[in-house]
Amino acid sequence: MKFDTPATTNPIDRLKVIGQPTERIEGPLKTSGQATYAYEQHEAAANQAYGFMVDSAIAKGRIKAIHLDDAKASPGVLAIVTAENAGKLDKGDYNAAHLLAGPEVQHYQQAVALVVAETFEQARAAAQLVKVDYETTDGKFDLAGVKHLGVEPKDELPDVNHGDFDKAFAAAPVQFDQTYTTPDQSHAMMEPHATLAAWKGDQLTLWTSNQMVAWSVGDIAKTLGLPKEKVRLVSPYIGGGFGGKLFIRADAILAALGARMAGRPVKVALARPQMANNTTHRPATIQRIRMGATADGKLTAIAHEGWSGNLADGKVELASQPSQLLYAAENRRVSMRLAPLDLPEGNAMRAPGEAPGLMVLEIAMDEMAERLKMDPVQFRILNDTQVDPVKTERPFSQRQLVKCLQIGAEKFGWNQRNAKPGTRREGRWLIGMGVAAAFRNNLLVKSGARVRLEQDGKVIVETDMTDIGTGSYTIIAQTAAEMMGVGLDDVVVRLGDSDFPVSAGSGGQFGGNCSTAGVYAACVKLREAVATRLGLAADQAEFADGQVRVGNQSLPLRNAAEGGALVGEDSIEFGDLAEKYQQSTFGAHFAEVAVDAATGEVRVRRMLAVCAAGRILNPTSARSQVIGAMTMGVGAALMEELAVDKRLGFFVNHDLAGYEVPVHADIPHQDVIFLDETDPISSPMKAKGVGELGICGVSAAVANAIYNATGARVREYPITLDKILDSLPEMI
Amino acid sequence: MRAFNYTRADSPAAASQAAQVEGAKFIAGGTNLLDLMKLDIETPAHLIDVNHLGLDQIEATPEGGLRIGALVRNTDLAADARVRKDYALLSRALLAGASGQLRNMATTAGNLLQRTRCPYFYDTHQACNKRNPGSGCSAIGGVTRQLAVIGVSDACIATHPSDMAIAMRALDAQIETVRPDGSTRSIPMADLHQLPGNTPHIETSLMPGEFITAVTLPAPVGGTHIYHKVRDRSSYAFALVSVGLILQEDGTGRVAVGGIAPKPWRVEAAEALLPKGAKAVSERLLEGATPTDDNHFKLTLVERTLASVLAQARETA
């Protein structure tokens, strides 16, 4: 199905099942331990052996020798894979560094070997006996030190120069110029990267934990030199990804190689202390913001320039991108520079670009509002735009940022905020409030599905879409139930298998809207087949309550499958509506914090998100996505940082004791309000993404609240207490 | 994790004797040791299980204090009515540490003997004089925000991570032990932990095989007890700085500080200045500190935290 004209009324608009708050249909499997995560695929293949990865002790250089004798002699060892014996290995299109080092080492804890043994404990013990001699070469590990080497990422974000920024900035009565930093961050998802691999002849099956099944089939085939048809990837349950599982990682390739060498199925999970340096992370950024405004607060000039680093073949972090679209101003400069670094690969993490970009831009907006002596909510409202500021002929398909800010301000009690920092105190606590805009583009990706009406009346949906804890199973079931006029219990959803039609996958908050739109398209096909089989006019048929009706005629849906199951398969493909209209999601975040006047400890007390993100397909799981994202935003504001050892080139705090994420006690009352919005430009579902919108701006709202509480304006995330101690009141 | 022999001791003296074997370690709750074994940081050849020795009682002493068995779990110790009433500092310090699950397993003696959380100690790719004596210290000059500012050496700048030990130090606990020859002794808490000097791998004054049987608290000293642990998140994190305070009505008291040194940091000459306020105490307490750029803030933080708990104590009193 080609989607190239705005959606009109369709069966989804009935909202009998879709759009209703619905508990996750796979929830009981997860809470009872029956959901088969990759490492728990005990029944998938017999005679499984265990692999444990050996990782590099240096950040850059060469392996001179690997000594395997002790490990080989260790009890239970079946095979040891190294680059020397693995055969020819290519590199996946989505990987910056090789997934198995040798002889070159490209980053710290890059895999150098896999030890396969009868038990996990034997594999790990033997892995610890592998000794590697290295030749270390100098590397670049400090972004600030290599910033000047940055180049324009022409394929990803060519420089935007609209109007004449320099002139407008110079002429602006009120000017602002500040530089900020955001640190490297780790996805720190609950389930580590894990894969079980089994060969049947030259056919490879991988049970893994992966967000993008089709991409990853391609990269496994490319890396191992196999035809794609020889690779099957199964990823039904994923214990969190946040972008860290968009691509194949060492667990998948090493499991495949280990299984081939050992001649039996092998499973590999990365150990927690291996994850931060072995896999990908959100890259650190340096960002400079300049703004010029009239005395009454109209922005006339915005420049957002950023720098990030990566390995050769790695990508840039598009942190300045949101400044293309978020606020009006006739003169604009937006750019990123990508500098060479020898730290582990930087790549997508929840709302890449927008998340670190708004961490910075939305502090700058707070600072500029103060300079203008304006309320920060009003300042943002004043500078709203309903069209793409660079291509003004392109309207936003929907843009309710102003309403989000206004409703949020009212519900949160924003008028209680004292604009002068450090003036509200309750006992030992300094209290402050902060606001930030939320903004994340709505991406559209082709997505397919197959829907089958069984003889027993059940509707089976198959697609390689993944559920990374977001609720994909449920919204897909809701979509099929709505389209076919059956109850949720009559729908069975099967996900995450490369034998199923290729979907959008889970990434960039596009999965929810696009995958359900693909199911919609397949259901339209199935409805046609059903109507034809029943001898009814497909274009007039109404599917409801298990019946198919045309006029006064009504037949049970299941009758259509009496002679055998009926199948509808199709994909949603998006036309040029995204070129005619800018499609984005918007929101406003509000936070109230308390800061210990003595120690600078920050406690977030209240949070509110107001989101305008198209039709909300399932308010229960959407809320869950947003409060999870708000939690992650608090982590980014207050504690999350992969600390770089700039001498040795690695992330030092590479376990969950060192890399702190919020605990329950850090997270206060969270409220989420979804504006009633449908966006017919986006898809037949009239939905957009929401899972990443939820994190965008949160950290800045917290940062602004800390400023309001204390007067400490911290421009280097995370805002740990050592950065605000000097701004706190004198102790008696 | 390397293969190891496992035996159960049937008495404290037998445990001590058994532990004379090269590479022997006692195992109690295992909350720290097992993690370190999985990471190949601890590689004991023998584990001597001491969980079944009956050392899990808290008893009154004739002197009016408490004798806490070495195997009393942190949860039970924190919840004991006598501890909560007379040694509130201990209860509060315990509850500021780890998580409920860990406290259910962790023991009194094990808590005292836990190893540092220095990230370079935890990464076996890195040089560490504690883990591999003589290999050097990769933390010095590296990422040191969490590490010690005082009591350090050119060989090691790690901190002792225990919260409970801060309270034990402020309460003048005594460590009761039995040695391989069957003799017993009592070690003042002040003398249990050693500064790193040139031998950071030697962390306590215990002899090889010496086994902790109990920790004894003297008779209660009264006063207002406050433990304030300052950290980057609200729970389940090691201290940047923690301050244990016992303040008497006359303004005298005791102060022990965590998160800043290789051992619980208490300077009696500093706490004598308590009536003069936090600044005077902190300056004396931190005399000779050698912070890094990363952890210099701990000096300010100690003073401000102490000022805050002093104010709280005066309000409470």
Q: A309-327 pLDDT, tens per residue? A: 999 999 999 999 999 999 9
Edge-to-edge strands of the sheet including A174-182?
A160-162, A331-340, A299-310, A285-293, A174-182
Task: Spell out which residues of chain B touch residue A658, defining contact as CB-CB under 8 Å.
Answer: 117, 119, 122
Task: Spell out which residues of chain A touch residue B126, defining contact as CB-CB under 8 Å.
Answer: 648
Select from B101, B232, B279, B297 the residue whose CB has the most chain A CBs within 10 Å, as the one to mutate to test that interface.
B232
Active site positions of A, annotated: 692
Query: CB-based contacts of A373: which residues, under 8 Å, 6+ apart?
Result: none
Using left for φ > 0, alpha for ψ between -120 and 50, and beta otherwise, residue A133 falls in beta
A657 touching B (Cβ < 8 Å): yes
| Greatest C-alpha distance within chain A | 87
Helix (H) or strand (E) holding A257: helix A250-262
* Paired residues of A438 in beta bridges: A587
Q: Measuring CA to CA, how many Å separate B18 from each of B42, B46, B53?
A: 18, 9, 14
Q: Which of A198, A202, A260 is nearest to A230 (CA)?
A: A202
Query: CB-based contacts of A716: which residues, under 8 Å, 6+ apart?
Result: A180, A181, A723
Q: A665-709 pLDDT, tens per residue? A: 999 999 999 999 999 999 999 999 999 999 999 999 999 999 999
Residue pair A340/A309 in contact by the 8 Å Cβ criterion? yes
Q: What is the DSSP letter of A281?
A: B
Q: How near does any CA of chain A get to the CA of B193, in Å?
A: 23
Q: A409-419 pLDDT, tens per residue? A: 999 999 999 99
Question: Residue B2: what pLDDT?
Answer: 87
| Greatest C-alpha distance within chain B | 57
- Residue B44 preceded by cis peptide, ω within 30: no
Q: pTM for the complete prediction?
A: 0.98
* pLDDT surpasses 70 at A75: yes
A663 touching B (Cβ < 8 Å): yes
Helix (H) or strand (E) holding B258: strand B253-258
- Selecting from A601, A653, A654 the residue whose C-beta is nearest the C-beta of B230 gives A601
Q: How near does any CA of chain B get to the CA of A83, in Å?
A: 20
Cβ contact (<8 Å) for B234 and A603? Answer: yes
Residue pair A285/A318 in contact by the 8 Å Cβ criterion? no
Over its length of 317 residues, how does chain B's per-residue pLDDT go in tens digits?
889 999 999 999 999 999 999 899 999 999 999 999 999 999 999 999 999 999 999 999 999 999 999 999 999 999 999 999 999 999 999 999 999 999 999 999 999 999 999 999 999 999 999 999 999 999 999 999 999 999 999 999 999 999 999 999 999 999 999 999 999 999 999 999 999 999 999 999 999 999 999 999 999 999 999 999 999 999 999 999 999 999 999 999 999 999 999 999 999 999 999 999 999 999 999 999 999 999 999 999 999 999 999 999 998 86
- The answer, yes or no, to whether ipTM is higher than 0.90 is yes
Question: Residue A278: what pLDDT?
Answer: 98
Buried b (16+ CB within 10 A) or exposed e, B17-34: bbbeeeebbbbbbbbbbe
Cβ contact (<8 Å) for A722 and B301? Answer: yes
DSSP string, A23-58: --TTHHHHHTT-S--GGG-TTTSSS-EEEEEEE-SS
Percent helix, strand, coil in chain B, to 5, is: 30, 20, 50
- Selecting from A128, A648, A663 the residue whose C-beta is nearest the C-beta of B233 gives A663
Select from A277, A639, A731 the residue whose CB has the most chain B CBs within 10 Å, as the one to mutate to test that interface.
A731
* pLDDT surpasses 70 at A732: no
Mean pLDDT of chain A, nearest integer:
97
Q: Measuring CA to CA, how many Å separate A428 from each of A425, A597, B269?
A: 7, 6, 29
Give me the mean pLDDT over the A200-219 stretch. Answer: 98
* pLDDT surpasses 90 at A370: yes
End-to-end Cα separation, chain A, in angstroms: 71
CA angle A384, A388, A391 (to 5 degrees): 140
For residues B22 and A12, what is the distance between their CA atoms, to the nearest angstrom? 73
Residue pair A80/A113 in contact by the 8 Å Cβ criterion? yes
